[in-house]
């Protein structure tokens, strides 16, 4: 039995920026050796499965060629956050051929050799933090070519709100890329997006902003899904007549308000081999609301890439935040392009009169010039009042392209000041690694903003963190020598409702104690529980790729800070080739089967994909599985605590009452905002 739900009224918005209006999208296709309109996207189908804390995204496309000559085409799309491009398939003579990962220069050489020989071939490469690019040749004259790619990514729940983004909107941060790619961003015949959400905890609501007129959501009732507590939903967007790939698809889902704080451990281990695990910690700590006045500095990007809808949404978002401040708070606004400027000329008390004056100033902001991010942050650190709590909010869509641009220079600046930095990255293809690092090292948090997000809900999510104490000096420890290679190496501060996701390896099958410790306003808190690491568990082989990707992210962070070394470069290459991941130093190439054999290319990825597909097929037939660690926690003195898990059965901190981007209170606010906008119109 299925219950069908159609979304009726959704207005999209996001934190410190409202809905963007991009001119073109980033799901872009361009012929290399012919006019721009000779190669087109005939169909584009996306299948997403969210299960056990990570998402699998499969993109199946058919390219057409309306000329009488064979062509080479290149397809580009934004790099999803912390995603591993793990499969590239090309259909040759009606059969799927899977790609294999080689060192980047070698893969490029093989691709060019195959192209010159007139053989079917494809190549997937990573352009730093910006995009994945896929080259395909030949796209046959008056024919079509089918290409499929798959990537995995870990997802986090924020205050009981889950969020998945399928990125399509062009970030607009690279002028050369824009000039090259302003061509075909449309699917000419059919576009379809299917998402299946499987949750071990009850899901109350699902939303797809900006696609309310198209999105069809179905809840699979519990007697069909096989789980008394979990939930299964499907989301479908279907455009048989085609569509433009110009806007991200964002799917929100809200867990029930009584979902417990918890530790979840998802293992994978083949017989006789080392195991891999993903651990997800959703803590419940006593984080008190901050009552004293706070100084806030907003650092706003007004460079040329912010033109159009971006600057309008940024200004509108900042206005909403300033209007909600307490009178005892102070704020100042700094803008930057090729240079920085103090718009408010120092701190301003958040009184109604001052706020109204500032709103008038914000409305006069104009954009233009380059992006000197360093200058903006450096000015924010000037004139800090040591006697008051301070926070800096950086809102940008771009990259640091003038002035100081190296990661190490930003990090040295950060170390001179003890101030939390909160970074909000608007759109795709921005320097997410840098913004994440700045936020983490300063004790703040980073938030990525899509053009399809919701301003009211995202503001509530951010305020839910900023206005409360946080957990700092966070440590996650595993007893016993059998647990190794835990990644990421450094944990961020954890804010109210925030999860931490980590990966690790293990050898012996045994019980280990997991310990989470943190300091909260000077006092230390510790939570413990006992976990059984299984001898064999083959349900989630994809965890090996996610662990390797997290290790690569750690290494790349060091490279960006200190510069490239041969040792670290080789570590990335070894991980990329061993676990079949497209990285900064490895690419995936597809050859005809005979050419694969002639070239002596090992079929590592083909074997890995076979294991993953078998496991995925088995999981589709099974009920939702819970990996929550049960009532075997221990007290701080090591004694047994007969409770309901690591955090004694306490609720996971959420918004309460169903607020946030998904929930009844949010919908009331949404309708109110919509009516207010209509009255103004």
Edge to edge, the sheet with strand 161-166 lists 157-158, 161-166, 249-255, 203-207
Same domain, 235 and 301: no
pTM for this entry: 0.86
Q: Write out the residue range of the structural domain in which residue 446 sits.
A: 294-469
Q: What is the DSSP letter of 496?
A: T
Q: Is residue 569 part of a domain?
A: no
Q: Which has the minimum average pLDDT: 68-77, 152-161, 305-314?
A: 305-314
Angle, helices 664-680 vs 455-466, to 10°: value is 130
Q: How far apart are the C-alpha atoms of 261 and 646, rounded to whole Å?
A: 8
Q: What is the H or E stretch that residue 137 is in? A: strand 131-139
The count of domains in the chain is 2
Are residues 233 and 181 part of one domain?
yes
Question: pLDDT per residue over 89-124, tens digit each?
Answer: 999 988 999 999 999 999 999 999 999 999 999 999
Mark whether 243 and 308 lie in a shared domain.
no
Contact between 415 and 320 (Cβ < 8 Å): no
E strand or H helix at 42, and its extent?
strand 39-51
Do residues 20 and 118 both lie within one domain?
yes
Residue 386 has pLDDT above 90, yes or no: no
**Residue ending a domain, choose from 564, 590, 620:** 620
Question: Which one is predicted more confidently, 313 or 213?
Answer: 213
pLDDT tens digit string along 183-202?
A: 556 788 889 999 999 999 99
Q: At what angle do helices 543-562 and 432-442 cross, to 10 degrees?
A: 80
Tell me what the pLDDT averaged over the chain comes to: 82
Q: Which of 443, 469, 495 is the last residue of a domain?
A: 469
User: Could you count the other beta carbons within 10 Å of the beta carbon of residue 410?
Assistant: 22
Q: If DSSP codes are grouped into helix, strand and coil, which group holds residue 40?
A: strand
Q: What pLDDT, in 10s, does the model give residues 274-310?
A: 999 999 999 988 888 877 778 889 898 888 777 766 6
Q: Where residue 432 sits, what CATH number does that domain have? A: 3.40.50.410
Longest dimension (CA), the chain: 77
**Based on the domain organization, do 238 and 349 belong to the same domain?**
no
Confidence band of 506 (pLDDT split at 50, 70, 90):
very high
Least confident of 212-221, 327-336, 377-386, 625-634: 625-634
Average pLDDT over residues 375-387: 88
**Residues 301, 254: one domain?**
no
Q: pLDDT band for position 675 (50/70/90)?
A: very low
Q: For 605-656, what is each residue's pLDDT tens digit?
A: 999 999 999 999 999 888 889 999 875 433 434 434 434 568 877 888 876 5
Taking alpha carbons only, the member of 460, 458, 466, 459 closest to residue 389 is: 466
Choose the final residue of a domain: 620, 645, 674: 620
The predicted pLDDT at position 459 comes to 60
459 and 594, same domain (yes or no): no
Rounded to an integer, what distance in angstroms lies between the CA atom of residue 673 and that of residue 218?
27
Asked if the model's pLDDT at residue 265 lies above 90, the reply is: yes
Same domain assignment for residues 54 and 102: yes
Residue 314 placed within a domain? yes
State the DSSP H helix or E strand holding residue 547, giving kind and residue range, or none if neither: helix 543-562
For 251, the enclosing helix (H) or strand (E) is strand 249-255
The number of residues in the chain equals: 681
pLDDT attached to residue 13: 25
Q: What percent of the chain has pLDDT over 90?
A: 39
Of the candidates 589, 584, 558, 588, the residue with the CA atom closest to the CA atom of residue 573:
584
C-alpha angle with apex 424: 421 to 428, nearest 5 degrees?
A: 140
218 with 313, same domain: the answer is no
The tens digit of pLDDT for each residue in 541-575 reads 999 999 999 999 999 999 998 999 999 999 999 99
CA angle 304, 309, 310 (to 5 degrees): 55
């Amino acid at each position: 039995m299925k219950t069908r739900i159609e979304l009726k009224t959704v207005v999209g918005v996001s934190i410190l920026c409202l809905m963007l209006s991009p001119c073109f999208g980033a799901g872009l296709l361009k012929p290399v050796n012919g006019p721009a309109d000779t190669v087109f996207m005939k169909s584009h189908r996306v299948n997403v499965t969210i299960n056990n804390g990570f998402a699998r995204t499969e993109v199946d496309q058919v390219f057409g060629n309306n000329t009488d000559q064979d062509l080479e085409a290149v397809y580009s799309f934004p790099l999803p956050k912390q995603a591993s491009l793990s499969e590239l398939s090309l259909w040759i003579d009606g059969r799927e051929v899977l790609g294999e990962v080689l060192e980047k220069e070698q893969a490029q050489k093989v691709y060019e050799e195959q192209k010159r020989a007139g053989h079917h071939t494809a190549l997937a490469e990573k352009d730093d933090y910006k995009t994945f690019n896929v080259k395909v040749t030949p796209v046959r004259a008056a024919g079509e070519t089918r290409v499929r790619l798959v990537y995995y990514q870990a997802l986090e729940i924020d205050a009981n709100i889950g969020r998945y983004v399928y990125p399509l909107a062009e970030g607009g941060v690279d002028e050369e890329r824009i000039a090259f790619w302003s061509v075909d961003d449309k699917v000419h015949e059919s576009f379809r997006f299917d998402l299946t959400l499987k949750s071990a905890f009850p899901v109350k609501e699902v939303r797809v902003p900006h696609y309310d007129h198209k999105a069809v959501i179905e809840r699979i009732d519990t007697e069909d899904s096989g789980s008394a507590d979990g939930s299964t939903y499907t989301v479908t967007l279907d455009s048989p007549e085609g569509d433009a790939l110009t806007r991200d698809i964002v799917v929100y889902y809200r867990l029930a308000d009584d979902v417990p704080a918890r530790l979840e451990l998802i293992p994978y281990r083949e017989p006789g081999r080392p195991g891999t695990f993903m651990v997800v910690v959703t803590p419940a700590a006593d984080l008190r609301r901050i009552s004293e006045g706070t100084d806030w500095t907003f650092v706003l990007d007004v460079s040329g890439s912010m033109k159009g809808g971006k600057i309008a949404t940024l200004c509108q978002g900042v206005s909403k935040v300033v209007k909600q401040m307490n009178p005892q708070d102070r704020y100042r606004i700094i803008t930057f392009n090729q240079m920085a400027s103090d718009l408010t000329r120092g701190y301003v008390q958040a009184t109604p009169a001052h706020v109204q004056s500032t709103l008038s100033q914000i409305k006069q902001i104009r954009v233009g010039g380059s992006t000197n991010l360093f200058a903006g942050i450096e000015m924010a650190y000037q004139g800090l009042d040591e006697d008051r709590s301070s926070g800096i909010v950086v809102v940008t869509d771009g990259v640091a392209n003038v002035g100081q641009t190296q990661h190490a220079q930003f990090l040295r600046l950060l170390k001179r000041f003890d101030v939390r930095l909160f970074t909000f990255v608007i759109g795709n293809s921005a320097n997410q690694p840098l913004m994440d690092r700045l936020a983490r090292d300063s004790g703040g948090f980073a938030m990525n903003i899509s053009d399809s997000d919701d301003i009211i809900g995202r503001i509530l999510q951010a305020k839910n963190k900023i206005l409360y104490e946080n957990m700092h000096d966070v440590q996650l420890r595993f007893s016993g020598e059998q647990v190794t290679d835990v990644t990421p190496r450094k944990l961020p501060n954890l804010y109210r409702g925030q999860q931490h996701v980590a990966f690790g390896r293990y050898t012996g099958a045994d019980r280990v104690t997991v310990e989470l410790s943190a300091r909260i306003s000077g006092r230390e808190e510790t939570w413990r529980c006992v976990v059984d690491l299984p001898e064999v568990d083959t349900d989630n082989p994809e965890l090996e790729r996610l662990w390797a990707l997290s290790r690569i992210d750690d290494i790349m962070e060091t490279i960006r800070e200190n510069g490239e070394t041969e040792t670290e470069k080789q570590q990335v290459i070894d991980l990329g080739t061993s676990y079949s991941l497209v990285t900064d130093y490895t690419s995936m190439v597809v050859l005809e089967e005979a050419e694969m054999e002639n070239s002596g290319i090992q079929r590592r990825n083909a074997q890995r994909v076979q294991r993953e597909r078998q496991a995925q097929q088995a999981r589709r037939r099974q009920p939702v599985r819970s990996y929550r660690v049960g009532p075997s926690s221990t007290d701080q003195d090591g004694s047994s605590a007969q409770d309901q898990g690591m955090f004694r059965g306490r609720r996971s901190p959420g918004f309460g009452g169903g607020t946030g981007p998904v929930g009844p209170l949010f919908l009331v606010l949404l309708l109110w905002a919509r009516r207010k906008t209509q009255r103004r119109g």
